[in-house]
Chains A and B, each alone.
Chain A
Amino acid sequence: MKKIFVSFAALVLAAFIISSCEQEKYFDSSLLAGKWKSGTLFERYFDDGTGYSWDEGDDVREEEAQDFTWTLAGAELIKKEQMEIGDVEITKIFTVTELSSTTLKYNDDFGRGYTFTRVDE
């Protein structure tokens, strides 16, 4: 019985450990640099942690895009949208679920997800 109990406890512990390891995903931030497209929405990331976004569906041109800064730590993507007025930053925190040379997926705490594909230039 004790053996069974110890085995069960070890199993539960392993399950927790495995589960924790799955949540600590790591994505290579260098893959983020470039131009990404999701429908009419575009985002461009630069290696220096800056970027900008624009939505052609709203008749916004790339040269009129709005700036943000970004950091990618593990799977946490924090974007700070720069406002011109008031020197305010809007912080948006996302969890990246996929980042490759062609695909970027992230979502927020409220379950809203975004899927981008890289735009070749």
Chain B
Amino acid sequence: MKRFLKIFFISTASLLFLVFVATGILFWYAFTPEKLTPIVRKQAEKYIPYETLIGEVELTVFSTFPRFGVRVSDISIISPLADAPSDTLLKAGEVIGVVDAKAFWKEREIVVNKFMLTNSSINIFTDSTGHSNYKLFMTSDAPAEVTRVEPIYLDLKDIQFNNLDLFYTDLAAEMNAVVSGLSAGLSGTFSGDNINGRIGMGNSSISFEYKGEKYLDKALIQADIPAEVILSRQMVRLNGAQISVNDLGLSLSGTIENDTLEGNIITDLRYRSDPWLVEEVLALTPPSFLSYLGEIEASGIISSEGTIKGVAGATLLPEIDIDVELTGGRLDYGYIPFPLSELNGEMSFFWNMNSLDESHLKIDRLEGVTPQSLINTRGEVDRLFADMHYDLTTNMDANIDEIMAFFPPGMDIDITGKIKGEFFTDFTLSQAIAFELDKMKMSGSGDLSDFSFVYDSLLLSSETGKINFSLPNPSPSRENTKFAFASISSDKLTASNNAKFATYMKNTHLHMQVSDLRDTTSVPDMLCRFSIDTFWAGNDTMSFDIDKPYGYFSVSSAPGFPKRPAIELAYTSYETSARMGASSATVESIALNTDILNDNTEEDIFLQWLANGFVEMEKGSFNLSGLPNPVYIPSIKMDFDPETFNILESSVIFEESDFGLSGTWDNVYSYFRGDSLLRGDFKFSSANTDLARLMSLTSGIGAEEPLKEEAIDSDDSYRHFKNETTSFGNNHSTLSGSEPPSPLQHDDHSSLSRSELPSPLQRDDHSSLSRSELPSPLQHDDHSSLSRSEPPSPLKHDDHSLLSRSEPPLPLKHDNHPLPGDAIFEISQPKVQPQGNNTTIYSKGNYTSSVSSGKETPSSSGGNYTSPSLRDNHASSDSNRNVTSFTGPYMVPQGIDVLLRANVDSAIIGTDTISNIIGNVRISDGILVLDGLTLKTPAADMQLTAMYRTPRKNHLYLGIDYHMLDVEISRLLEMIPDIDTLMPMLRSFKGRGEFHFAVETYLDSLYNMKMSTLRGASSITGQDLVLMDGETFSEIAKSLRFSKKAENRVDSLSAEFTIFREEIDVYPFLIVMDRYKAVVGGRHNLDMSFDYHISLVESPLPLRLGIDVNGNLKQLQYRLTRPRYAEFYRPVSRRAVESHQLEIRQMIRETLTRSLIQTE
């Protein structure tokens, strides 16, 4: 530009010089063209360093009247230069000049009254090497001449350029400018160092190209430029210049100075624009600038004012500081995926092209409308022509869809809804494009409506809500949660994962802190506090309904394992309902504190999650699909870690059982890894326990062998098991021989074998029948569909001392309907089951459970358990209950070693109720041991040591070491009917005695004894026993000729016997009665055949008699014989065999009572 001005002034000065020369010629050669023209040509050759062609020179009078002027026509200055578009430096159609000769003559002042250049063109060219077609002007003497006129006062009155075409080409600077049809006026004075003037331009167009970039293309230029030029400083001062380019007008004031030392132009300009149409501004904007902005279409009215200040040089550009006001704008911008309209704003633009980083845009106010949103923003955008930095505060009432349009594609996130609020952004354009959220700062708060968030297959939605968020997190709780904070409140929040699950949350408040979720090298860190009024989650198979869940959880990577999540959870809630398949649960309150570590190298889901913590639950009710009745857990408190579950306190109610359990599970983790037994040590205290029922629940735990195996024909072995638990021989057919009786053949009860089944209507009359003798199912047709019409709702348990004591949870929803899982053990016909050479009759049980009406009430003769209240109501809805059966024998859990330190007030075993059970119960890897349990029954105080081992389903070991002190013999027979089988004479005694009994056998899967494995020993003592009137007494009294007054009292009885397979050897024992002392011994077989011998060792008779008793109950045979045991209780005369038998008796008794004594 400076070069252009320089050339321009030099050119003007040269023209003026020609005028002066022409004027001189006018004066010196009589003013004729013929005379003037040669003179001028000659002088031109002299002073102009280029070839100059001059057409004609003449004086003018009329056109310059009243002054004389000189008109020169067809002037051409030829300055050829290679690559120049033309060899003509200047071509002027006509030049007219009027000079005040008088002033010059007298005052040495040059007064140019008029100078007019018409139809001219100027071609200024500089080639790529810097050679220009005007350089001789710069090096000739002519400029010196000009310099010498410096003291001259120059007054330019009227200088006009009409139709001037100016071409400027500088190949070295890659600059090209064309001014076409320039009409300009110039006036001013030149005095000493200053030129004051005014330039007016109009009706001309200008094109300007720089470095291949078109900055102006035939732009219409109009200007009125009052200016002052200080030549020594080569400075132009503009005072309110009015310039318009394509009607974009602005006023301009200030200075432009040529710094000759540095070769720069120093600017200090102020401008003020007229209101411009934005689209016209964009039309004038060089494409290179537009490329900075990208694809853009804009409209509106923009007005501005500002300053241009600084140095313009080869490497420098001045600073531009602009204040802009925009009204009615519209913008389609490539970086904004939707149009903006109604743009109004005020902003300041600072442009420092020397340091693009300093360029910034300060937005005092900018508001606009998108197709679906209102946006109002303020703030600052820095580094406009580099990596723009946005520091903005934005208020919006926006559709989130439009915001999401800014997110990069491929994020698999879709957010919709509306948000209204204030948001803060502080990030750079490159950060936004690269989605460098970790470097961006964004925060805000707003109200959400119709919100939905979709990530992958996860959907989160809320009708209304509030959100606060901040990137980064301004107050992180952890080092790793600096990335972001978010607080979400929602009246109704739903979430779902396709059809897999759905959740609903009411009045939800979530406060979250997270690490950068995009970091896939480690588990994201997350902290979340949650408070929800109502939470529901579920799918078609499971659901959770939780009241007021509240708590905190965090997720982070485990130390040293960035890919393994470590979870902390602190959770409390009120009533919780859950359903999973056919199982359901309700809990009144839960508190949980846990740390969970994930080990994703484990395949087992349990082993993957290692939890430490504490859980407390109150008033839980669980309906489990595998259980016929609900399990109530009034309370449980437990510490846990992967290896240990420490139950501090718990109470459980299940059917007729209630118990408190406290203690420890050890080796839990190792157990699931298969490295160790699961060990437990618990205190088990119970007011009432249905032992058989609990055993049925634990049967087969840990067994690798499937339960349903081998020939188990019963689908309700629980009943069977229940009967067999305390009376392994209840299946009496095994004792009765090989003739299976028909269930209907029971007329002759007096001679019935023990397996023959009486009618329940008749069995009351037969006290000798065992409780397990089964009624004909024909008598129970009305029970075949027995149902629990009164479900075991705890609400029914008001009078239940256990329940009232522990205040169990009350599932209020089950008042009038059966609970899912209520069981019916249906009655079915007894079956005859061949069992080797024996025949087994067993029945399917008809257990009907009830907890609503208290205890089950066995009938007087035992057998069927049906609560009367249930019997009354059995006809009601049985369609709502599940028929659940426990199949197979009880298999002792394997892989666990559990010690229960039992203290049971009352236990139901089979048909008996036992109280005050104290002792240890141990389950150890397939072995169940009752270790020295002390029991109290109505019949006796007992001590029981028992072992039950289940090596395989059809080979079950049962060993019992049983002591009953001060037992009522009749009750003993009632409790253990098989004693009757072993010692049938006991049936004839009434009174109290002492009973010690050790027996073991293996059982098959139906609890039938394997007779070849039966071993046992027993010791019975009694004093003052009453020999009941009956067949035995009559037979004995008759044979021994008792006195008619003889009381049927046995003074003492002490007997030992052993059992081996089917043989019961009764060692000779002394019985004292009336005037008789007798020794009784022999063998009794399980087929009910006898071979006894009774030796009368003391009697009124002078003879010693003996009686052999043999045969069976139907056909007893008596035969007098010599007394075989005559010397048995006479040590002096006792023989070796007799002594041996006594030793065996003594050994049996000592062995049997050893453990009892030790315990005592």
Contact = CB atoms under 8 A, between A and B. Distances in A.
Contacts of B1155: 86
Contacts of B1151: 86-89
Interface in B941-960: 945-947, 951, 954-955, 957, 959-960
Interface stretch (A12-20, A26-34, A54-62): A54-62
Contact of B959 (A57, A58, A61, A84): A84
Given A55-B1012, A89-B1151, A84 B837 contact: no
B999 interface: yes
Interface stretch (B647-655, B757-765, B789-797, B1057-1065): B1057-1065
A90 interface: yes
B1017 A90 contact: yes
Contacts of A50: none
Contacts of A61: 955
A91 interface: yes
B1012 A88 contact: no
Interface in B1052-1100: 1058-1060, 1063, 1065, 1082-1083, 1091
A61 to B, nearest CB: 8
B837 A60 contact: no
A88 B1154 CA distance: 10
Contact of A85 (B951, B954, B961, B1083): B961
A75 B528 CA distance: 87
Contacts of A47: none
A48 to B, nearest CB: 21
Interface string B646-672: 000000000000000000000000000
B961 A86 contact: yes
A92 interface: yes
Nearest to A79: B1060
Interface residues of A, number: 24
A121 B1139 CA distance: 41
B1147 interface: yes
Contacts of A60: 955, 1002, 1010, 1012-1013
A86 B1091 CA distance: 28
Contacts of B311: none
A84 B1010 contact: no
A84 B1063 contact: no
B954 A59 contact: yes
A85 B999 contact: yes
Contacts of A53: 1012
A120 B1058 CA distance: 33
Contacts of B1144: 91
Given A57-B836, A60-B1010, A112-B1063, A83 B1015 contact: yes
A113 B946 CA distance: 33
A85 B947 contact: yes
A110 B1091 contact: yes
Contacts of B837: 57
Nearest to A41: B1012
B357 interface: no
Given A41-B1012, A59-B1004, A60-B1013, A85 B1060 contact: no
Contacts of A81: 1015, 1060
A84 B957 contact: yes
A63 B1016 CA distance: 21
Contacts of A83: 959, 998, 1000, 1015-1017
A85 to B, nearest CB: 3
Given A64-B951, A90-B1058, A112-B1063, A85 B836 contact: no
B1148 interface: yes
Contacts of A87: 1151, 1154
A59 B1013 contact: no
Given A85-B959, A85-B961, A90-B1017, A58 B947 contact: no
B1152 interface: yes
Contacts of A115: none
A83 B946 CA distance: 12
A85 B945 contact: yes
B194 to A, nearest CB: 130
B1060 A58 contact: no
A66 interface: yes
B1011 interface: yes
A55 to B, nearest CB: 3
A57 B838 CA distance: 11
A58 B1011 CA distance: 8
Nearest to A111: B1091
B1013 A66 contact: yes
Contacts of A86: 945, 959, 961, 998, 1017, 1151-1152, 1155
B1002 A88 contact: no
Contacts of B1000: 83-85
B317 to A, nearest CB: 103
A114 to B, nearest CB: 11
A58 to B, nearest CB: 4
Contacts of B1012: 41, 53-55, 57-58, 60
Nearest to B1004: A59
A64 B955 contact: yes
A55 B836 CA distance: 11
A52 to B, nearest CB: 11
Contact of B1010 (A55, A88, A91, A92): A55
B786 to A, nearest CB: 35
A80 to B, nearest CB: 10
Nearest to B999: A85
Contacts of A110: 1063, 1082-1083, 1091
A61 B1017 CA distance: 24
B628 to A, nearest CB: 32
Interface in B813-872: 836-837
B1059 A90 contact: yes
A67 to B, nearest CB: 11
B276 to A, nearest CB: 107
Contact of A55 (B999, B1013, B1059): B1013
Contacts of A84: 947, 957, 959, 1000
A64 B1004 CA distance: 13
Name which of B1012, B1016, B1058, B1065 has the most chain A CB atoms within 10 A of its CB. Answer: B1012
Given A58-B1011, A59-B1010, A85 B1058 contact: no
A87 B1058 CA distance: 14
Contact of A58 (B961, B1002, B1065): B1002
A53 B1151 CA distance: 23
| Most-contacted residue by chain B among A60, A88, A89 (CB, 10 A) | A88
Contacts of B1060: 81, 90, 92
A19 B956 CA distance: 49
Contacts of A58: 836, 1002, 1004, 1010-1013
Interface in B974-1014: 998-1000, 1002, 1004, 1010-1013
A59 B1017 CA distance: 24
Interface in B1111-1160: 1144, 1147-1148, 1151-1152, 1154-1155
Interface in B541-595: none
B1150 to A, nearest CB: 10
A113 B1065 CA distance: 15
Interface in B910-955: 945-947, 951, 954-955
B1084 to A, nearest CB: 10
A110 B1091 CA distance: 8
The 4 closest A-B pairs by CB, nearest first: A85-B959, A55-B1012, A86-B998, A58-B1010
5 contacts: A58-B1013, A81-B1015, A83-B1016, A84-B947, A90-B1058
Interface of B: 836-837, 945-947, 951, 954-955, 957, 959-961, 998-1000, 1002, 1004, 1010-1013, 1015-1017, 1058-1060, 1063, 1065, 1082-1083, 1091, 1144, 1147-1148, 1151-1152, 1154-1155
Given A55-B1012, A87-B1154, A88-B998, 9 more contacts: A64-B955, A84-B957, A85-B947, A86-B959, A88-B1148, A90-B1017, A90-B1059, A91-B1058, A110-B1082
